[in-house]
Structure 1
Amino acid sequence: MDGPLLELFPRFDDLEDLLRNEVEARYILKKATDHLDGIKSNDKAGEEEEIRYLICAVVDRNWERIHTGHFSVVPVTTRQIYAIACFFKIFFLLLESTDPRQKEKCSGILDEAQLLGCTDDWSELKAALMEYLDKGQQETAEPLPILAAVLRGSCACDIPQLDAPGLNEFQTKCFQPQQPTLLLNTIKHWPAMDKWRDLNYLLQVAGNRTVPIEIGSNYASDEWSQQLVKIRDFLRRQFVDQSGDGCREIEYLAQHELFAQIPALKADICVPDYCTLSGAEETPAAVDIKAWLGPAGTISPMHYDPKHNLLCQVFGSKQIILAAPEDTPNLYPHESEFLGNTSQINAAELDLKTFPLLEQVRFYKLLLQPGDCLYMPPKWWHYVRAETPSFSVSFWWE
Structure 2
Amino acid sequence: MTLKLQDIPRVKAITKAGFLKNYFNPQKPVVIESLTVDWPAYTKWNLDYMKSVAGDITIPLYDDRPVDYKEGFNQPHAKMKMSDYVDLLKTEPTKYRIFLWNALKEIPQLQKDFTFPDFGIRLMKGIPMLFFGGRGSHTFMHYDIDLANIFHFHFEGIKQIILFDQKQSDYLYKIPHSLITREDIDFSNPDFKKWPMLKKAKGYQTELKHGEVLYMPEGYWHYMRYITPGFSMSLRAIARNPKNFSRAIYNIVIMRHYDNVMRRLKGQKWIDWKNEQAIIRTHKNSGITV
TM more than 0.5: yes
Superposition map of 1:38-77 within 5 A: none
Tell me what 1:328 maps to.
169
Deviation at 1:287, TM superposition (A): 5.4
Deviation at 1:351, TM superposition (A): 2.0
Largest Rg, 1 or 2: 1
Once residues 61 and 47 of structure 2 are traced to their aligned partners in structure 1, the CA distance between those partners, rounded to angstroms, is 20
Once residues 160 and 346 of structure 1 are traced to their aligned partners in structure 2, the CA distance between those partners, rounded to angstroms, is 24
Once residues 277 and 298 of structure 1 are traced to their aligned partners in structure 2, the CA distance between those partners, rounded to angstroms, is 32
Please, which of 8, 19, 35 is the counterpart of residue 170 of structure 1? 19
Deviation at 1:364, TM superposition (A): 1.6
Once residues 50 and 31 of structure 2 are traced to their aligned partners in structure 1, the CA distance between those partners, rounded to angstroms, is 28
Once residues 182 and 249 of structure 1 are traced to their aligned partners in structure 2, the CA distance between those partners, rounded to angstroms, is 27
Once residues 237 and 127 of structure 2 are traced to their aligned partners in structure 1, the CA distance between those partners, rounded to angstroms, is 6
Tell me what 2:127 maps to.
288
Please, which of 28, 36, 50 is the counterpart of residue 202 of structure 1? 50
Residue 286 and residue 198 in structure 1: after superposition, are their counterparts in 2 closer, same or farther (change >3 A)? closer
Structure 2 residue 117 is matched with structure 1 residue 277: no
Once residues 51 and 222 of structure 2 are traced to their aligned partners in structure 1, the CA distance between those partners, rounded to angstroms, is 31
Residue identity in the other structure for 1:311: H
Deviation at 1:179, TM superposition (A): 0.9
Tell me what 2:78 maps to.
227
Tell me what 1:7 maps to.
none
Please, which of 95, 100, 115 is the counterpart of residue 250 of structure 1? 95
Q: What's the C-alpha RMSD, in Å, of the aligned pairs?
A: 2.4
Deviation at 1:269, TM superposition (A): 2.3
Deviation at 1:157, TM superposition (A): 6.2
Tell me what 2:87 maps to.
236
Residue 220 and residue 382 in structure 1: after superposition, are their counterparts in 2 closer, same or farther (change >3 A)? farther
SS of residue matched to 2:98: strand
Residue identity in the other structure for 1:189: D
Q: Which has the higher contact order (CA 8 A, sep 6+)?
A: 2
8 A Cα contact 1:287 1:397, kept in partner: no
Tell me what 1:298 maps to.
137
Tell me what 1:62 maps to.
none
Tell me what 2:246 maps to.
none
Please, which of 366, 370, 376 is the counterpart of residue 206 of structure 2? 366
SS of residue matched to 2:113: coil
Residue identity in the other structure for 2:221: W
Tell me what 2:111 maps to.
266
Residue 252 and residue 327 in structure 1: after superposition, are their counterparts in 2 closer, same or farther (change >3 A)? same
Post-superposition CA distance 1:296-329 (Å, at most 9, x none): 1120121112100111112111111111210111
Structure 2 residue 64 is matched with structure 1 residue 213: no
Tell me what 2:151 maps to.
310
Residue identity in the other structure for 1:263: P
SS of residue matched to 2:80: strand
Deviation at 1:167, TM superposition (A): 1.3
Residue 250 and residue 355 in structure 1: after superposition, are their counterparts in 2 closer, same or farther (change >3 A)? closer
**TM-score between both structures, scaled by the size of structure 2:** 0.71
Deviation at 1:286, TM superposition (A): 4.6
Post-superposition CA distance 1:79-133 (Å, at most 9, x none): xxxxxxxxxxxxxxxxxxxxxxxxxxxxxxxxxxxxxxxxxxxxxxxxxxxxxxx
Residue identity in the other structure for 1:320: I
Once residues 235 and 47 of structure 2 are traced to their aligned partners in structure 1, the CA distance between those partners, rounded to angstroms, is 23
Deviation at 1:227, TM superposition (A): 2.2
8 A Cα contact 2:47 2:156, kept in partner: no
Residue identity in the other structure for 2:25: Q
Deviation at 1:226, TM superposition (A): 1.8
**TM-score between both structures, scaled by the size of structure 1:** 0.52
Once residues 308 and 167 of structure 1 are traced to their aligned partners in structure 2, the CA distance between those partners, rounded to angstroms, is 15
Please, which of 184, 207, 227 is the counterpart of residue 387 of structure 1? 227
Please, which of 168, 179, 196 is the counterpart of residue 341 of structure 1? 179
Once residues 368 and 169 of structure 1 are traced to their aligned partners in structure 2, the CA distance between those partners, rounded to angstroms, is 21
Once residues 163 and 204 of structure 1 are traced to their aligned partners in structure 2, the CA distance between those partners, rounded to angstroms, is 31
Once residues 65 and 102 of structure 2 are traced to their aligned partners in structure 1, the CA distance between those partners, rounded to angstroms, is 18
Tell me what 2:215 maps to.
375
8 A Cα contact 2:142 2:222, kept in partner: yes
Tell me what 2:194 maps to.
354
Tell me what 1:184 maps to.
33
Deviation at 1:162, TM superposition (A): 1.8
Tell me what 2:265 maps to.
none
Hey, which of these two has a bigger chunk of helix by percent?
Answer: 1
Q: How many residues align?
A: 225
- 4+ long deviations beyond 3 Å: 219-222, 284-287
Once residues 218 and 87 of structure 2 are traced to their aligned partners in structure 1, the CA distance between those partners, rounded to angstroms, is 36
SS of residue matched to 1:302: coil
